[in-house]
Copies of this chain bind each other. A is one copy, B any other.
Amino acid sequence: MSRTLIAVSRIVFCILLMTTTPTAASQVIIPSPAHLDKREGLLLIDSSFTVRVNGYTEPRLSSAVERLIARMGDETGIVFYKDQTPENTPTLEIRCARSSSAVPTLGEDESYTLDVTPTLARLESATPYGILRGLETFWQLLFPGPAGFAIPALHIEDSPRFPWRGLLMDVCRHWMPMEVVKRNLDAMAAVKLNVLHWHLSEDQGFRVESNRHPELHRQGSDGKYFTQKEVRQIVAYAADRGIRVVPEFDMPGHTTSWLVGYPGLASAPGPYSIERSWGIFDPTMDPTREETYGFIDGFIEEMATLFPDPYFHIGGDEVNGHQWNDNPDIVSFKHRRGMNDNHDLQAYFNKRLEAILAKHGKRMVGWDEILHPDLPPDIVVQSWRGQNSLAVAARNGYHGILSYGYYLDHMLPASFHYGIDPLGEEAATLDSVSMQRVLGGEACMWSEFVNSANVDSRIWPRVAAIAERLWSPPAVRDTNDMYRRLAVLSSRLEWLGLTHRTGRHMMLERLAGYSDVRPLEILTSILEPVKFYQRPVTRKYTSRTPLNRLVDATLPESRSAREFALSVDSLLLNPDNTRLAARVKTNLQLWHETCSRVRPLVSQSHLLREIDTLITDVQALTVAGLEALDVIGKKPVPDQHHRKEWQQILEHAARPHAELLIMIVEPVRRIVETAVQ
């Protein structure tokens, strides 16, 4: 037969093939356990798999075991027998020493030991929380091996580095219904996150039913809120998975939605309507009137029964002070009390708030801005400003958690988040007592530019890198290895019902007008959304702007571009490596050709029109890359004119298009620079 054709098709194929991620031999657990010793052999998992809980037990443990078996059944396709005979030695023996609080609180003992031999597995821990964590490790170890589904033999001793490992979900800017919260709790548990920071009120929406002040949810939510029954369900669902729920009701700023039903709370006369735009707005509670505290007292009393966690987040961020400055009564109040500025006034408000919280058995959590010498040391400061601000708080006796560097809405690569340590920078210099006050961190999923259709793809799998930073020893920091494990997790999260990949596929099909989605998929694979707060720069956004464009379907991090960059760097170090050269070339060719396949879709669909210049730039960029590659190989160095042309192409391609970034610009630049040398 025509051997040459087969040879060509070998090139053809390499473009279809992503880096494979072997699961059999290497460790895939994320977050990586504190100690892991590999052993010889495999524990086979077949339909005879059984679990027994010895020692202390409770319904939560039985539920966790049932969930594990159901999940393993889904994932393997094996029908596990329910009618296991108790006399038989179980495949997995669980031993829990003692009970712990039914609803988790800060600082539970989450450590566990997992022993797997080729004949059985044993999971031991002091409390049910350790068992819950260990079961997730057990699940992550399951893989389809050469002789059947199996768990590798090993010995794990594991415990978390930080006790507070959270994810903030903003269900206010865009509404996220029950199933979104639930599936994210499942995935959080899978990576051993233990706090859902539930951001429940904002200028754009008040999301909890209040019986005490019913106009809060009636007038402040567009009908999109959690009933008290649903809140209890979520709290129980989370507790079942060893996850605390810390509610946030942001005060005194970010409160427009409260003021729609209760304009008397504001520092300026109403009426107010639900905010539809994004940003920092004027409406602020009036901290000078006693009625405000009466209202809050009743509200917190009610919420205190709904949310059992001792910590209660009051926001406290981004008070712009306009309403305070414009209100003569407030100005004179400040003057009478000898307050220097609005920060003092907010500290007064927070102090009052803190007393109310304490009365109802709650400890205050707030953003950086709440820090003020007037506040007692048992508050927790959540820092979005950096480790240094965290260090200052800890040194002054306050507890703190880090969110700086963990903003998922910034659309940064997992490696960036992975590099941020709550005990990094100035915090690394704290004495051991102050260090203990750094409780951990929280990833933040602010929802101005995400909704329930794509929020999973913004959280997962990237948040697992943060989960590892907060759980695993600081020495665990091999980025490539993290990415390898992240890829496996990402696949397996689908079995938990996450939509981070299917949602993207459906959005791309919408964009392709239900014709073949593959070209768009390939093009999107080298793009990323713009970073930080760049989206509203070119376009006005409100809460009613459809999130149905290519930027909304594009994943925060381009795996193809990352891997392409690695290939380019290797090639530039080893220019004679023909296999590498072929791979780099074929990728550039594929992306070039993809553009002409996407072009017809652009004329068909109004949603794609905006990527017209992006396509032109990718085409020019890939041509420049291919030309430069040729030069490196053999051809004469191009003239000044040609160099300038390349430079312009690179400059064009580096600019955002339709709120998207072309992520192969930098590796192509390196090729061009090498060619020009």
Binding site for B on A (CB under 8 A): 1-2, 5-6, 8-13, 15-24, 47, 74-79, 81-82, 143-149, 222-223, 453, 487-488, 491-492, 494-495, 502, 505-507, 509-511, 513-516, 518-519, 522, 543-548, 552, 585-586, 589-590, 592-594, 597, 603-607, 609, 623-624, 626-627, 630
Query: Nearest Cβ distance between residue A28 and chain B, in whole angstroms?
Result: 8
> A22 contacts which of B511, B515, B586, B624 (Cβ < 8 Å)?
B515
A18 touches B79 (CB 8 A): no
Q: List, in ascending order, chain B residues with CB within 8 A of A518's CB.
A: 16-18
For this complex, 23 residue pairs linking A to B, each with C-beta atoms less than 8 Å apart, are: A6-B593, A10-B593, A12-B12, A12-B586, A12-B590, A16-B518, A19-B516, A21-B515, A22-B604, A23-B515, A77-B453, A77-B510, A77-B548, A78-B546, A78-B548, A79-B544, A79-B545, A144-B511, A144-B513, A144-B605, A487-B514, A495-B506, A502-B505
| Bound-state Cα–Cα, A552 to B605, Å | 36
A606 contact set on B, CB distance < 8 A: 144-149
A627 touches B516 (CB 8 A): no
Cβ-defined contact, B74 with A453, below 8 A: yes
B77→A6 contact, CB < 8 A: no
CA distance A193 to B293 in the complex (A): 59
The distance from the CB of A273 to the nearest CB of chain B, in whole angstroms, is: 12
Determine whether the beta carbon of A630 is less than 8 Å from that of B23: no
In the complex, are the beta carbons of A589 and B515 less than 8 A apart? no
Contact B146 A603 (CB under 8 A): yes
Partner of A623, one of B1, B505, B506: B1
* A590, B77: Cβ atoms closer than 8 Å: no
Nearest B residue to A24, CB-CB = B604
Residues in chain B near residue A589, CB distance under 8 A: 5-6, 8-9, 12
In the complex the two chains form, what is the Cα distance from A513 to B28 in whole Å? 12
* Alpha-carbon distance between A547 and B495 when the two chains are bound, in angstroms: 16
Rounded to whole angstroms, the CA-CA distance of A78 and B21 in the bound complex is: 38
Question: Shortest distance in angstroms between A634's beta carbon and chain B's nearest beta carbon?
Answer: 12
Q: Which of B12, B78, B627 contacts A593 (CB under 8 A)?
A: B12
- Name the distance in Å between A471's Cβ and chain B's nearest Cβ: 21
Q: A12-B590, A78-B548, A506-B495 are in contact. Are A515 and B20 (CB under 8 A)?
A: yes
Taken together as a complex, chains A and B put the C-alpha atoms of A548 and B546 apart, in Å, by: 39
Is A18 a contact of B514 with CB atoms below 8 Å?
no
Most B CB atoms within 10 A — which of A77, A519, A605?
A: A77
- Decide if B544 touches A47 in the complex (CB within 8 Å): yes
When C-beta atoms are compared, the residue in chain B nearest to A548 turns out to be B77
Chain B residues, Cβ within 8 Å of A516:
17-21
Q: Which B-chain residue is minimally distant from A9 (CB atoms)?
A: B589
- Cα distance A653–B124 in the bound complex, in angstroms: 53
Chain B residues with CB under 8 A of A146: 603-606, 609
Q: In the complex, are the beta carbons of B519 and A17 less than 8 A apart?
A: yes
Query: CA separation between A342 and B289, bound complex, in Å?
Result: 90
Q: What residue in chain B is nearest A589 (Cβ atoms)? A: B9
Least CB distance from A69 to B in Å reads 14
Least Cβ–Cβ distance between A425 and chain B, in angstroms: 36
Which listed residue (B23, B82, B547, B592) contacts A513, Cβ 8 A? B23
Q: Give Cα A604–Cα B514 distance, bound, in whole angstroms.
A: 36
Chain B residue contacts of A24, Cβ below 8 A: 513, 604
Determine which of B148, B543, B627 lies in contact with A2 in the assembled complex, contact meaning CB atoms within 8 Å. Answer: B627
Given contacts A9-B593, A589-B9, contact A1 B79 (CB under 8 A): no
| A12 to B589 alpha-carbon distance, docked (Å) | 9
Chain B residue numbers with a CB within 8 Å of A522 are 16
